[in-house]
Amino acid sequence: MWGCSWLNGTGLVEELPACQDLQLVLLVLSLLGLLVGVPVGLCYNALLVLANLHSKASMTMPDVYFVNMAVAGLVLSALAPVHLLSPLSSRWPLWSVGSEVHVALQIPFNVSSLVAMYSTALLSLDHYIERALPRTYMASVYNTRHVCGFVWGGALLTSFSSLLFYICRHISARALECTKMQNAEAADAMLVFIGYAVPALAALYALVLLSRVHREDTPLDRDEGRLEPSAHRLLVATVCMQFGLWTPHYLTLLGCTVFVSRGKPVDAHYLGLVDFAKDVSKLLAFCSSFVTPLLYRYMNQSFPGKLRRLMKKLPWGNRHCSPDHVGVQQVLA
């Protein structure tokens, strides 16, 4: 996946050792992501989903969004080995941009990225509604479940429209309708705008509104539906982490779109540099699949209790010796 072939023919021979050192560092990080990040992401995302689904009655609005992000994280964790173990040369026909394998794997990746971004943005907006209007139940669990369903549907539709641009580039000679849809950069521009710019503005707007909310805790607000104090810290940490790890990926797509839209011939050196930047940004994006459930595990106060209740329901969860309550009552009598 990592290589310094983009330095060939540039005259930058003195920078080759530094590039090789960077290549070694990135290779080690990729192996750590495969050996540690992927198993952790699969395990914690699965536990997050199962524990919350097992305790549906105690789920809150943030829990629904985190379950949504955990499902997207499971998809990303399953795709990470295929992307991180891609061939060393991006010119391999099976893995080249626009090939059938690349397009097929790009669909679930784009869907998961859209779901993660919009779940984070909607979590921020609903958290503000819950803080500003705590007793209106506008951001209820019931409404949030329907919103998450629309998020997945919108992500699938957006990815399908982007898929048309990639497919039409291959069948344009056979389908006259696709002659005007051969530009793959249009699909990337669409993803940047819909998948990053819109949720980023929404999350930023919600954080600005939350910073202006100065409500005093009253006895009327101390009910079971009120969010825990740790929910605000978890929200800020999740927003910063998600957008921090996904921003390089979308900025790289934006840079490629602007660079190619000029219509000028692109040097092979810059093409290799762009591929290198795409690989680094995609590695950071995959890191979000295991960082999010770890944040939820250590910053959500109710998750350990849900996890214990789930473990007790498992076949091996009740193997410990339990006291004989009937015998105890007879002895006391």
The CATH superfamily of 18-171+180-214+228-310 is: Rhodopsin 7-helix transmembrane proteins (1.20.1070.10)
SS3 content of the chain, % helix, strand, coil (to 5): 75, 0, 25
Place of tokens 């069948």: 171
Q: For residue 137, what pLDDT is reported?
A: 67
CA distance 172 to 166: 10
CA distance 134 to 136: 6
Q: For residue 139, what pLDDT is reported?
A: 67
CA distance 257 to 40: 34
Give long-range contacts, CB 8 A cutoff, 24+ apart: 270-277: 271/6, 272/5, 272/6, 272/7, 273/6, 275/6, 275/90, 276/2, 276/3, 276/6, 277/248, 277/252
- Tokens representing 287 are 């890191």
First to last CA, the chain: 73
Q: Give the pLDDT of the chain (333 residues) as one tens digit per residue.
A: 555 555 554 445 445 566 666 677 777 877 887 888 899 999 999 999 999 998 888 888 889 999 999 999 999 999 888 877 765 444 444 445 555 666 777 888 989 999 999 999 999 998 888 887 776 666 678 888 888 888 998 888 877 766 666 666 555 445 455 544 445 667 778 888 889 999 999 999 998 888 887 555 544 444 444 556 677 888 889 999 999 999 999 999 888 877 777 766 556 566 667 777 888 888 899 999 999 999 998 888 888 888 888 888 877 655 544 444 444 344 343
- Do the Cβ atoms of 144 and 124 come closer than 8 Å? no
| Cβ count near 238 (within 10 Å) | 26
Q: For residue 212, what pLDDT is reported?
A: 82
Place of tokens 């000028």: 264
Model confidence, pTM: 0.79
| DSSP 8-class letter at 215 | P
Q: For residue 243, what pLDDT is reported?
A: 94
Q: For residue 313, what pLDDT is reported?
A: 81
- Provide Rg for the chain, Cα atoms: 24
CA distance 229 to 227: 7
| Cβ count near 304 (within 10 Å) | 12
